[in-house]
Structure 1
Amino acid sequence: MIGWGVTMLALAGPAATTLDSVQVQAARVRAVDDADLPASMTTLDVDAQGNGRGALVSEALAGVPGLLARERQNLAQDTQLSIRGVGARSTFGVRGVRLLVDGVPATMPDGQGQLSHFNLLGAERIEVLRGPFSTLYGNASGGVVQLWSGDGRAGDPWRLRAAVGGNDSHSLGLQLKGATPALRYNVAANHYRTQGWRAHSAARRESLNARFGMDLGPERTLELVVNALEAPHAQDPLGLSREQAQAAPRHAAAVATAYDTRKSVHQAQAGAVYTQQRDQRTWRTMAYAGQRTVEQYLAIPPAAQASPLHSGGVIGLDGGYGGIDTRWAWQATLAGRPLELVLGANADRQRQHRTGYENHVGEVLGIKGRLRRDQHDRVANLDQFAQAWWRIGPRWSLLAGARHSRVRFRSDDHYIVPGNPDDSGRRDYTATTPVAGLVFRANEVLRLYASAGRGFETPTFNELGYRADGGAGLALDLAPATSRTVELGGKWRFRTGARLDLAVFRADTEDELAVATNRGGRSSYRTIGATRRQGVELEWRRPLGETQELQLAWTWLQARVREAYLTCTGLPAPCTVPSATVAAGTALPGVPRQYLQARWQWRPGAWQLAAEGTASAATVVTDLGDARAPGYGLLNLEAARQWSTAQGALRVFARVDNLLDRRYIGSVIVNDGNGRYFEPGPDRTWTLGVQWQWAVR
């Protein structure tokens, strides 16, 4: 879970007896081109010359096939992130996709993660891994997103960046980056505030990310990573019905203002990585720890909280987490050809105090009332892994691995009153997930590959939190989802700098988890049986002369139910006994059939000009497939100009999003029990900013 970093041999070039070893993260070899790996991978350079707000990670995730990052115009809820349809059902946070920052996990042992503390100001690149090799990251790894901060070097400039935009939004950031004889550093702090495009969506975020590197001696290094986030009182406008979204897309749901729905998050964490290389062996140990506090006010009416089993309309989460990861890599030969073996283990633990309170006192709504829930939750995993790479011929290479995971959940209930019994419980999940891939070097520009693997996904504590039948206790009957994934692909790298990646994939899942009911900000889940996600991804980049570049990312994805099952409609009242049939072949909600992103960029001299286009097919929003958000197409423009001065480089930039002022649904809330499925996207908005970089002497 910490990030399956391994040491591997370079795959490119002619056969050799030994090659330099490189520290990597799960199938990603930094010193080797992605074309020589049997996996779908995209590396996004986080350009210091970016022209957006610089505060939301979704700005940097455009142009990755298979990945969908939808901003919800609601900073009380995280970016809606999915990879190949995995994670699309999530109504809060990120699940089913592994997230890491500088190798430190932003995903907890149960599979629940968040993007809110990803700091773009200090970032150098974002790596996105899709397909079977994602399973090497352990539980709930339908894909992997890693943000890496740049390593400080002597002479790096410091920079100050400020931007203002529509909806009374502004951001201010400072990055200090460089190196001394004893220390490499990259410290980035950012402030962002907005009134929000929709009513009742004002929010503020302060984030800090610091990375320090030290050389402890010959072939020994230590890196320290510190990360913090403050996001107090982010307002939640909730979703809208179709009629509301059409008539007044900027409005908030009436209950959002009545109950003052909002969320506060405070998080701080730190990690350390020690690496030592000696001869043909590498040892690497990572440890991290953090603290996270969340308080969220929901729009649950007092009448619904009358039941003694109800846990109230205010959620409180407070707890710590941490873990350790260690691995050993050995470089050798087998049958006269390069071989590398990696062995390792990691353990992670999260302790969380979960409380619930009524969201009213008497007739006054939106304030904390009586205690209705008090429990201590613990989740821990213990994983062991092995991976081997072997060049089996001059034009062939094999990469194979396996991971054994054990995830243990335990909840101790301290709120025991008449009508509400002791809800304590525990559940363990175990799985072994193998994966293998073969690469064939057809010629100097073309690589062909095939890969296959198994994966598994436990419920998160949020999904275990409420039983679908409305009864007391955790939903300990939920089974883990298991998947089988296969992928075939080709990668072309032309001498002109152009590149083309094509992948065809299929993932069959058993015991898929789906939303049972979603009402009043509370979701319960059930196991629905078998599903299938299959599709095609295309990524194309082509330089146009010395100053222009064209990028294209296209995804065709068919996500369907393979076995019929019963579900609840959710309207007009909460449902605990499913009676509506979801037929085999019904589309899974939250997943558009096609998604296209294109970007043209031109850098004539000191100028930078760019145009972006995004198009999405319609998105089903219920399990029954009886409602959907319409497709849309958007156009964005950018322009920037830079001047060199005696005090440093000064750059002014501007961006216009949704230039044609189209109305569209930017994200959806799957299976919302109130029929408020839609979160409208903003109309034409603008950003104007300035950046100053100066040398440190």
Structure 2
Amino acid sequence: MKTFFTGCLTALCFSGIAQVKSDSTKKLNEVVIRPYFSAQPLIRSTGAIGVLDQTTLDKQPAGSFVSAINTISGVRMEERSPGSYRLSIRGSLLRSPFGIRNVKIYFDDFPLTDAGGNSYLNALDVSAASGIQVLKGPHSSIFGANSGGVILIQPRGSQPDSTALSLNLEGGSYGAFREGLSLNQQFNKYSLNITQAYQRSDGYRDHSAMDRKYFQTLHKWDYTKNAALKALLFYSDLHYNTPGGLTPAEYLQNPKLSRPAAGPSKSAIEQQAGIYSKTLYGGLSHNWQLSDRFKHIVSIFSSYTDFKNPFISNYEKRKEFTLGLRTFLEYEKKLTQANWKFDLGIESMETRSDISNYDNNKGLTAALKASDKLKAASSFAFAHLSIDVRQKWLFELSASANLYQYAYQSIAPVAIAERKNSFDTQFMPRAALSYLIGTQFSVRTSISKGYSAPSLAEIRASNNVINVDLQPEYGWNYEAGLRYQALNNRLLIDVTAFYYNLKNAIVRRLDQNDAGYFINAGGTKQPGLESTVSFWPIPTRTSGAVRGLQLRNTYTLSRFKFDNYIDKTNNFSGNALTGVPKTMLVSSADIQLPNQVYIFLQHSFTSQIPLNDANTAYAKKYHILQAKISWKNLRIGRTPAELFTGADNILNQRYSLGNDLNAFNDRYYNAAAKRTFYAGLLLRLNHL
């Protein structure tokens, strides 16, 4: 029955095309993106790009990015427990026991990913973002070291907003509560946004509570006709408990359990396992239009993170400081038959990490086990050439030279003087082409090289050993795609096929003490197919029982395999890539009714997931159904208001959203919440 629902909704997207009347002529806004320095229509993009605007984000549950980002084909985001994110683009989660690696993330003009290769995406509250663009596949040619892709996040306040002040209050199952406040003000040439948020939850599982306090401010000053300054600052104070993985027997008996004591190992509750992370991030950007043809942009940024992680076997403390710069010069020339742009720039940053591990005495630090100082330096120079011929052919050639090195110094248990390790300079090219046939149909192809050095958290993993033998992963990605946009932008079809051959893939292992470490596998072969179909059978209108209907479907096929992967006496060559479902399908319906009542329905299907490299254990396939109803045509006194309510996992599925891969003693499962409900109120003031 569940599969039938998926098929019906998918078929509806296509069958509805033939039912459109010829007099339905209302034109929707064209999707415009900014993937490579300048704006362009999505249909002309040379790459595979997923887009989430503010409207799309508002339809999803606001407590997490997971549901929204998973609507993008080829992207999988997980949440092992509230606040504990993992994310992959086209593949491997093997490198991420928690956190995000081999994906580069930018927050406005500033890299959120530090020089050590780590991205604290969970530091951001959902209300901090007004839009997200995901560039799928390696983009080391422009954005530096990444083998998965790039995520560009637009902060709140980066787009014009008529709402001067908004207040969002929301509560739900398992003690969930959210509060968000946003202020927008325009003073002649100066604009200001302040975003404040608080979120808490008791969690579905034992020992899975979380809370986050968040503050963000964005300032823009167009101080002259051709120059502007921008300043971004955010502070995040995040804490969440980590209940730990369950064995198959424990997961089937009671998925709400936290990890129990076993032999000499204490339980997650006894050890007060959790994450305490405080992050302060700031950036300053200057945009100067030197002339009609020249533009210069420079950004400086810095961050400081105080990170604590009491775990079952130890207590880790980290203090991390990052400082960096990104700048480029753009030259643009417009000719009769062609326009072209050339960008030349550099990005350089350094991250210093002081890491200490102690015995964990029931959530308190005890004897010092190890202490090290690490320093990562990441720099790359890049060039990008874009040639637009007759607004039909779009050629893009880009390349970067990547330099990466790290230094390490041991303080305890044995003092060792600082040593350095450098990787060879990597030349990372990308060549891409798109061709617009008429005004509605485009085809594209690209070839690019990906590169990702091991992160500091992989070089010094939880076994407290600095692994100087760990090497970067790299590979070539080949892809081709098409887009079709018709019926006044009411119909969009986007299909991409790709093949990624990754070498030296970095994979995680656990020792007999349940401590993690990383090795280089032989590689992976990753052929895949991604598609997105969006259609408005009923465009937005002012009359009728249904005032608008949008149907959307995304499909991901990942036939990823290990290639020439031998670990000790085990040969995993030809096995399915660990942690990657072969099929994902997301279908949704957005229904607009009179009096500004909106109903949003979404169904997600995920096929079975291999949990270890040997492919001897799999997580079962699952279906997730969610719904949200909102009523926007309300007023409290003179204040416009929106009332909304929603439900997640309506089918009450038992599933694990964030499996521990290659887990010791088969502790694979981190159970997600069963059926949940939420409701809230949004107040908006258009003038102060």
| Superposition TM-score, scaled by structure 1 size | 0.88
Q: Give, in whole Å, the separation in 2 of the partners of 1:102 and 1:678.
A: 35
| Residues 118-197 of structure 1 mapped to structure 2, 5 A cutoff | 118-133=124-139, 135-149=141-155, 150-151=157-158, 153=160, 155-197=162-204
1:654 to 1:143, Cα distance in 2 relative to 1, 3 A: same
Distance 2:406 2:243 in 1: 33
Residue 226 (structure 2) pairs with residue 219 (structure 1): yes
For residue 607 of structure 2, the aligned residue among 613, 617, 625 is 617
Tell me, in whole angstroms, the C-alpha distance in 2 between the residues paired with 1:328 and 1:49. Answer: 33
Give the whole-Å Cα distance in 2 for the aligned partners of 1:620 and 1:256: 25
> 1:256-281 deviations in whole A, cap 9, x for unaligned?
11212111000001101100112211
User: Which residue, out of 415, 430, 434, partners 2:429?
Assistant: 434
Specify the SS of the correspondent of 1:50: helix
SS at the partner of 1:665?
coil
Which residue of 279, 298, 311 corresponds with 1:285? 298
Runs (4+) off by over 6 Å: none
Deviations along 1:465-504, one digit per CA (max 9) or x if unpaired, are 149xx7x851111111111000000011113421000000
Distance 1:504 1:52, change over 3 A: closer
Do the aligned partners of 2:140 and 2:146 also contact (CA within 8 Å) in 1?
no
Q: Secondary structure at the match of 1:563?
A: coil
RMSD: 2.1
Partner of 2:380: 383
CA change 1:191–1:394 in 2 (3 A) is closer
Q: Which amino acid aligns with 1:241?
A: T
**Deviation (angstroms), 1:644:** 4.1
Structure 1: unaligned runs, 5 residues or longer: 1-22, 301-312, 567-577
Find the counterpart in structure 1 of residue 62 from structure 2: 54
Name which of 367, 371, 385 aligns with 1:370: 367
Q: Secondary structure at the match of 2:80?
A: coil
Matched, 1:486 2:487: no
Asked whether 1:629 is paired with 2:619, we answer: yes
The equivalent residue for 1:256 is 268
Q: How does 1:72-471 map to 2 (within 5 A)?
A: 72-75=80-83, 78-133=84-139, 135-149=141-155, 150-151=157-158, 153=160, 155-232=162-239, 234-254=240-260, 255-277=267-289, 278-300=291-313, 313-332=314-333, 337-360=338-361, 365-392=362-389, 395-417=392-414, 422=416, 424-429=418-423, 430-466=425-461
Q: Following TM superposition, by how much is the alpha carbon of 1:297 offset from its aligned partner in structure 2, in angstroms?
A: 0.7
Is 1:585 aligned with 2:580?
no
Structure 1 residue 24, shift from structure 2 partner: 8.1
SS where residue 268 of structure 2 aligns? helix
Do the aligned residues in 1 keep the contact of 2:59 with 2:600 (CA within 8 Å)? no
Q: Please tell me the residue identity of whatever aligns with 2:484.
A: W
For the pair 1:679 / 2:670, whether they are aligned, the reply is yes
Distance 1:182 1:522 in 2: 54
Are 1:237 and 1:256, in contact at CA under 8 Å, matched by a contact in 2? yes
The letter for the 2-side match of 1:73 is S
1:513 and 1:152 map into 2 onto residues whose CA distance is: 38
Partner of residue 43, structure 2 = 35
Aligned to 2:586, which of 597, 617, 621? 597
Map residues 481-630 of structure 1 onto 2, 5 A cutoff: 481-496=473-488, 497-517=490-510, 522-546=515-539, 547-566=548-567, 578-582=568-572, 584-605=573-594, 606-630=596-620
Q: Tell me what 2:545 maps to.
A: none
Residues 565-591 of structure 1: CA deviation (Å, up to 9, x unaligned): 02xxxxxxxxxxx33332x21011110
Distance 1:647 1:617, change over 3 A: same
CA distance in structure 2 between the aligned counterparts of 1:637 and 1:649, rounded to whole angstroms: 23
Q: 1:693 corresponds to which residue?
A: 684
Greater Cα offset, 444-453 or 394-403: 394-403
Alignment CA distance shift 1:549-1:440 (3 Å): same
Deviation of the 1:518 alpha carbon: 5.7
**Kept in 2: contact 1:153–1:184 (CA 8 A):** no
Q: Pick one of 633, 636, 654 that aligns with 1:643.
A: 633
1:629-655 residue CA offsets vs partner (Å, 9 max, x unmatched): 011011111111123435221111011
CA distance in 1, matches of 2:473, 2:447: 17
Instruction: Summarize deviations over 1:212-242 as a string: whole Å, max 9, x none.
Output: 100111210001001110013x211001111
**Quick check: 1:68 aligned with 2:55?**
no
Equivalents in 1 of 2:672, 2:152: separation in Å?
26
Q: 1:422 Cα deviation (Å)?
A: 2.7
C-alpha distance in structure 1 between counterparts of 2:315 and 2:62, whole Å: 32
CA separation in 2, counterparts of 1:519 and 1:178?
A: 57
Letter aligned with residue 185 of structure 1: L
Give 3-state SS (helix, strand or coil) of 1:47's partner. Answer: helix
Q: Deviations over 1:536-591 (max 9, x none)?
A: 0001100121211011111000111111302xxxxxxxxxxx33332x21011110
Gap change, CA 1:644 and 1:684, over 3 Å in 2 = closer
**C-alpha displacement at 1:88, in angstroms?**
4.9
Code of the residue aligned with 1:552 in structure 2: it is N
Q: Tell me how far 1:117 sits from its aligned partner.
A: 2.2
Letter in 2 for 1:180: F
Unaligned runs of 5+ in 2: 1-31, 261-266, 540-547
Aligned equivalents of 2:601, 2:429: Cα separation in 1: 42
Change (3 A) 1:180 1:662: same
- Would you say the 8 A contact 1:155–1:178 is kept in 2? no
Counterpart code for 1:98: K
8 Å Cα contact 1:403/1:433 also seen in 2: yes
CA spacing shift, 1:170–1:613, aligned 2, 3 Å: same
CA distance in structure 1 between the aligned counterparts of 2:161 and 2:79, rounded to whole angstroms: 37
Measured in 2, the distance between the counterparts of 1:637 and 1:683 equals 14
Contact 1:52 1:655 in 2 (8 A): no
Number of aligned residue pairs? 637
Deviation at 1:689, TM superposition (A): 0.6
Q: How far, CA to CA, are the matches of 1:444 and 1:24 in structure 2?
A: 17
Task: Give deviations 1:80-134, integer Å, cap 9, x for gaps.
Answer: 2111013454111001111122222221123221211223224221111112446
Report deviation, 1:446: 0.6
The one-letter amino acid paired with 1:596 is: L
SS in 1 for 2:121: coil
Q: What percent identity do the matched residue pairs reach?
A: 19
SS of residue paired to 1:293:
strand
Q: The residue matched to 1:258 in structure 2 has which SS?
A: coil
The CA deviation at 1:71 is 2.0
CA 336–443 in structure 1, closer or farther in 2 if over 3 Å, else same: closer
Is the Cα–Cα contact under 8 Å of residues 353 and 375 in structure 1 kept in the other structure? yes
Letter in 1 for 2:347: N
Residue 19 of structure 2: aligned partner: none
Aligned partner of 2:24 in structure 1 is none
CA distance in 2, matches of 1:678, 1:480: 29
AA in 1 matched with 2:133: E
Equivalence for 2:648: 657
Is the contact between residue 473 and residue 502 of structure 2 (CA under 8 Å) also seen in structure 1? Answer: yes
Query: Which residue in 1 is equivalent to 2:14?
Result: none
Decide whether aligned partners of structure 1 residues 158 and 74 sit closer, same or farther in structure 2, where only a CA change above 3 A counts: closer
Equivalent-residue separation in structure 2 for 1:403 and 1:110 (angstroms): 19
Give 3-state SS (helix, strand or coil) of 1:463's partner: helix
User: Once the 2 structures are TM-superposed, how far is the Cα of residue 64 of structure 1 from its aligned partner?
Assistant: 0.4
